[in-house]
Amino acid sequence: MSSRTRPGYCRQDVNKTTWEVPEQYRELKQVGTGAYGTVCSAVNFRTGTKVAIKKLHRPFQSELFAKRAYRELRLLKHMKHENVIGLVDVFTADLSLDRFHDFISILLASFIGNQEDRVVDGFTKWRVLRMPLVRGNAIPCYNSTLRGVKEDLKPGNLAVNQECELKILDFGLARQADSEMTGYVVTRWYRAPEVILSWMHYTQTVDIWSVGCIMAEMLSGKPLFKGNDHLDQLTEIMKITGTPTQDFITKLQSQDAKNYVKSLPKVQKKDLQELFSKVNPQAVTVIECMLLLDPESRVTAAEALALPYFSEFREPEEETEAQPYDHSVDNSDLPLEQWKRHTFTEILSFQPQVVESRETAL
Distance CA 123, CA 224 (A): 34
Domain-located, residue 330? no
List the CATH number of the domain containing 103: 3.30.200.20
Domain-located, residue 349? no
Shared domain for 104 and 145, answered yes or no, is: no
Which of 283, 299, 316 terminates a domain? The answer is: 316
List the CATH number of the domain containing 210: 1.10.510.10
Domain-located, residue 348? no
Distances (CA, A) of 47 to 26, 50, 126: 12, 9, 20
Q: Which of 42, 3, 36, 1 is nearest to 22 (CA)?
A: 42
Shared domain for 296 and 177, answered yes or no, is: yes
Boundaries of domain holding 91: 1-108
Q: What pLDDT sits at residue 181?
A: 31
- SS3 for 282-299 is HHHHHHHHHCCCCCCCCC
Has 178 been annotated as catalytic?
Answer: no
Phi, psi for residue 120 in degrees, rounded to 5? -120, 125
Which of 66, 82, 108 terminates a domain? The answer is: 108
Domain-located, residue 305? yes
Domain-located, residue 344? no
Shared domain for 223 and 135, answered yes or no, is: yes
Number of domains in the chain: 2
Shared domain for 275 and 157, answered yes or no, is: yes
Domain-located, residue 343? no
Distance CA 321, CA 182 (A): 30
End-to-end CA distance of the chain: 39
What is the distance, to the nearest Å, from the Cα of residue 279 to the centroid of all Cα atoms in its chain? 27
Is residue 37 helix, strand or coil?
strand
**Paired strand residues for 159:** 128, 167
Shared domain for 101 and 140, answered yes or no, is: no
Shared domain for 149 and 285, answered yes or no, is: yes
pLDDT tens digits, the chain, 362 residues: what are they? 445 667 888 888 998 888 999 999 999 998 877 767 888 889 999 988 888 888 888 899 999 999 989 988 888 888 777 777 778 889 888 888 888 988 888 887 444 433 334 443 333 444 444 443 333 344 444 444 444 444 577 777 777 777 777 777 654 443 332 333 333 345 789 999 988 887 656 667 888 999 999 999 988 888 999 999 888 999 999 999 999 989 889 888 888 888 988 888 899 999 999 999 999 999 999 999 999 999 989 998 889 989 999 988 888 887 777 677 788 888 789 999 999 999 999 999 998 766 554 433 32
Distances (CA, A) of 150 to 79, 101, 324: 10, 29, 10
Shared domain for 56 and 199, answered yes or no, is: no
Which of 108, 134, 161 terminates a domain? The answer is: 108
Shared domain for 248 and 194, answered yes or no, is: yes
Shared domain for 129 and 275, answered yes or no, is: yes
DSSP state for residue 26 in the 8-state scheme: E
Shared domain for 190 and 281, answered yes or no, is: yes
Distance CA 221, CA 136 (A): 10
Global confidence as pTM: 0.74
Distance CA 43, CA 37 (A): 20
Give the H or E element holding residue 209: helix 205-220
Shared domain for 253 and 131, answered yes or no, is: yes
CA dihedral 41, 45, 47, 50 (to 10 degrees): 10
Distance CA 156, CA 149 (A): 16
Q: Which of 152, 271, 294, 333 is catalytic?
A: 152
Domain-located, residue 138? yes
Q: What pLDDT sits at residue 309?
A: 93
Report the alpha-carbon angle 56-349-73, nearest 5: 30
Shared domain for 154 and 262, answered yes or no, is: yes
Is residue 130 helix, strand or coil?
coil
Phi, psi for residue 114 in degrees, rounded to 5? -100, -175
Domain-located, residue 356? no
Spell out the long-range contacts of 100-103 with Cβ–Cβ below 8 A and sequence spacing 24 or more. 100/60, 100/340, 100/343, 100/344, 101/1, 101/60, 102/1, 102/55, 102/56, 102/58, 102/59, 102/60, 103/55, 103/56, 103/59, 103/69, 103/73, 103/343, 103/347
